[in-house]
Structure 1
Amino acid sequence: MKNYRIYSYITLGFALFFFVISLFSTPYFVRHTIKSSLENDIAAGKQEASQMALLSGELLNKNVDKQFVIESIQKAIANTNNENVFLSVIDWSGKVVSYPDVTNIGISTSDSSNEVATMESLITPDELYEIITSKLLEGNQNIGSNIIYIKSIPNSDLIVATHINEKKIQEKIDRTRNQFNIAFLILGLLTLLFTLSIIRYLSSFYEKLLDQKTIKIEDSVLSLSKLNSSLDAYQKNLLELKKSQVQLPEEQTQETPVQNIEKSKQRLLTYVRNELVSIPTEDIAYIYVDNTITYVIRKDGKRSTTNDSLDQIFSSLDEQLFFRANRQIIVAIHAIETITKFGNSALKIQTDPESEVEIVIGKNKAASFKQWLDL
């Protein structure tokens, strides 16, 4: 459910992003495309008008009948008003004498809505684009052609006019806008699909990693649970063993081998300031070294010092009751309260009373520690 929500947010975000991009960039791209097209159309129209004016002027200069020239032009431009750019011929009074649509012949350009360019001037693509788009924005229904260039025919009162077909240009603007919108839509969908695929792949990859870590954590928790359970069982067994030893006849206790007595001290000589204090080993919680001083911590939390090193002390203690956690500390079995995982393979011990230093068993000693607890 959470993944579907993420995918929904991503889809909504991409849709909003590409909508904003399309909203601001489409007009720019449409304007740039149409202006380039208009620039080509204007250049082509200017060239055609100049060539027709020059050719007609040469014919008139050769005393060819004016009406014949007009009829020839009419045949040449007939039905060309469906193209983006077409030509017509007007006289100096503004009357149309030749036009692709013969129904417009005889109409005065001053009576039409068309704008006439200045003599032999050339309207720019920017100006033409603004004229056409302004009509679209105003909802002007009177859309036809617009004179963008005129060229006089030598030796006559005739003028060749270049028209731009506004309706065709508007259709081209709409078509170009739709093409860009479709392009942005397709690009957005492809980008969205690609992004969702990448996110799905990454999420699956990290979910697998998370599952593996979860399994490792569960295994570690199970191992620590077994470790703490074994610790409790070991402490109970040790307590029962002590009780059974107390109940043994005095004769049997006297038969204990001397070697065991020598190996495991029953008491440890320590100092509290200048006072000598003998501590039973069963009262020791842990022993640690700090700044070359060896401290002995008892069950009740009281602290004393000793002149012996940890190596000397540990060699004289019962290894079933004490464990050398590291170079700095020796811990008693009955003082261990909990065992937790520390890092990748190390273990951390919490004692009662709480240790003044951190008790960490490195990964090299973790196996022997578990074996010490009879795991």
Structure 2
Amino acid sequence: MKKDKLYFLTFLSIAVIFLMVALIASQYFIKVSANQLIEVQVESSKREANEIAKLIDFQLLSGIKKEEIVTNIQRIIENSNTDSWFISIFNWGGKEVAHPDKTKVGQLVNSNQTLLSSLKEKNNSDDLYDLLMGKTNNSSSEIIHISPIKKSDLIVAANVNMNSIKQQMSALKVNFYLIFLIMGTLVIGLSFVAVRVIGSAYEKQLELKNSTLTSEVVNLSKLNTDLVSYKEKVAEKPIESTVDEPIEKEKKRLLTYIRNELVSIPIEEIAFIYTENTITYVVCFDGKKSTTNMSLDDMSANLNSSLFFRANRQFIIGITAIDKIIKYGNSQLKILLQSKTSEEIIISKNKAAEFKQWLNM
């Protein structure tokens, strides 16, 4: 998958997830905020209606006539603001006797009794939004609380302007959606940038590792290629000794022991030589093992250096016995042999360069 397509799918996934979460969260936050706003206004209106009812009751007890009290109340509330919450007074017959809109005085109260009953029963603020916004009649205002006046047929009512409430709720929704839009743009944008930055850093690390691995594979491949080439050269003609090397160092055969029997082994049949518990063993390609009285140092000094290599303190290996060279550990090499033996020979980091130079001889 191309990187641009991957980044696009990542961006699309983040956007879809945020959109789903925002749709659910926005509805919840809108309702909670609306409930709190409505609750504050409802409680304020209730308190105002109760205070006016107490005032009228006190005036009646003081001997002031009802008509005079109603006239004074009408004068006070007339032309007051009805854009949100307001107070009115009606009698038991359901007629308005005092209202901010004077034209409605004498008219029957037009309000949803079911809503009023529901508001009385449900005091939980979580229900106010559903009760007010879920009403179905077309009245511009609704009575949300009544406070009857003792020893009188008057009732003080707290009213709410439904159009104003709906406008407030619409503005609240717009504000919330705007906030979520800005927040979503920032979250999605920053998340996308973070994914790009992290992805680029990770890709650089992978490319570096792949480059290192490729280089190591190429080096190993070259070593194995050099090994095959050298084997072919050895098969075509015997390696001649250099002028500086004494001929007596190039042994043709090696005298070894198998128990009490003396065995002379041709040099070309030796796969590798190793030492264990101070005993030097000579292993042939057919897996036969014999011993010799010579140490590895003596063997290394007397064997043809073009054909045999001192891999480490324990092993001397023949060029024709090497089957495969594998990278091992931290810049080490592991040599797999063709002989019928399970021995694995490790060439240290310090010896690896010398071994590579030996293969290129």
| TM interval, short-chain normalised | 0.7 to 0.9
Q: Residues 76, 271 of structure 1: CA spacing in aligned structure 2 closer, same or farther, 3 A cutoff?
A: farther
Find the residue that maps to 2:313 and give its secondary structure.
coil
Which residue pairs with 1:212 in the alignment? 208
Which residue pairs with 1:296 in the alignment? 282
Which runs of 4 or more aligned residues in structure 1 lie more than 6 Å from their structure 2 counterparts after TM superposition?
290-293
Find the residue that maps to 1:242 and give its secondary structure.
coil
**How far has the Cα of 1:287 moved from its partner?**
2.5
Asked if 1 retains the 8 angstrom alpha-carbon contact of 2:82 and 2:100, the reply is yes
1:113 aligns with 2:98: no
Amino acid at match of 1:304: K
**How far has the Cα of 1:45 moved from its partner?**
0.7
Q: Residues 258, 237 of structure 1: CA spacing in aligned structure 2 closer, same or farther, 3 A cutoff?
A: closer
Asked if 2 retains the 8 angstrom alpha-carbon contact of 1:234 and 1:373, the reply is yes
Asked if 2 retains the 8 angstrom alpha-carbon contact of 1:96 and 1:105, the reply is yes
Aligned match of 1:343 in 329, 339, 342? 329
Which residue pairs with 2:269 in the alignment? 283
**How far has the Cα of 1:40 moved from its partner?**
0.8
Asked if 2 retains the 8 angstrom alpha-carbon contact of 1:121 and 1:150, the reply is no
Find the residue that maps to 1:86 and give its secondary structure.
strand
Separation in structure 1 between the aligned mates of residue 202 and residue 215 of structure 2, nearest angstrom = 20
Find the residue that maps to 2:69 and give its secondary structure.
helix
Asked if 2 retains the 8 angstrom alpha-carbon contact of 1:18 and 1:184, the reply is no
Amino acid at match of 1:93: G
Separation in structure 2 between the aligned mates of residue 187 and residue 172 of structure 1, nearest angstrom = 22
TM-score by length of structure 1 reads: 0.80
Separation in structure 1 between the aligned mates of residue 312 and residue 147 of structure 2, nearest angstrom = 104
Find the residue that maps to 2:304 and give its secondary structure.
coil
Asked if 2 retains the 8 angstrom alpha-carbon contact of 1:326 and 1:361, the reply is yes
Separation in structure 1 between the aligned mates of residue 102 and residue 278 of structure 2, nearest angstrom = 117
Which residue pairs with 1:359 in the alignment? 345
Q: CA RMSD in A?
A: 3.3
Map 1:169-180 to 2 at 5 A.
169-180=165-176
Which residue pairs with 2:14 in the alignment? 14
Asked if 1 retains the 8 angstrom alpha-carbon contact of 2:115 and 2:131, the reply is no
Which residue pairs with 1:82 in the alignment? 83
**How far has the Cα of 1:65 moved from its partner?**
4.7
Q: Where in structure 1 are there 5+ consecutive unaligned residues?
A: 246-255
Asked if 1 retains the 8 angstrom alpha-carbon contact of 2:282 and 2:291, the reply is yes
Separation in structure 1 between the aligned mates of residue 237 and residue 298 of structure 2, nearest angstrom = 26
Q: Deviations over 1:51-75 (max 9, x none)?
A: 2223333444444453443233234
Which residue pairs with 1:153 in the alignment? 149
Q: Residues 204, 257 of structure 1: CA spacing in aligned structure 2 closer, same or farther, 3 A cutoff?
A: closer
Which residue pairs with 2:188 in the alignment? 192
Identity fraction in percent:
38
Which residue pairs with 2:129 in the alignment? 129
Q: Residues 205, 36 of structure 1: CA spacing in aligned structure 2 closer, same or farther, 3 A cutoff?
A: same
Q: Deviations over 1:247-266 (max 9, x none)?
A: xxxxxxxxx999542x4443
**How far has the Cα of 1:46 moved from its partner?**
1.7
Q: Deviations over 1:206-227 (max 9, x none)?
A: 2222222233233323433443
Task: Give the total of aligned pairs.
Answer: 356
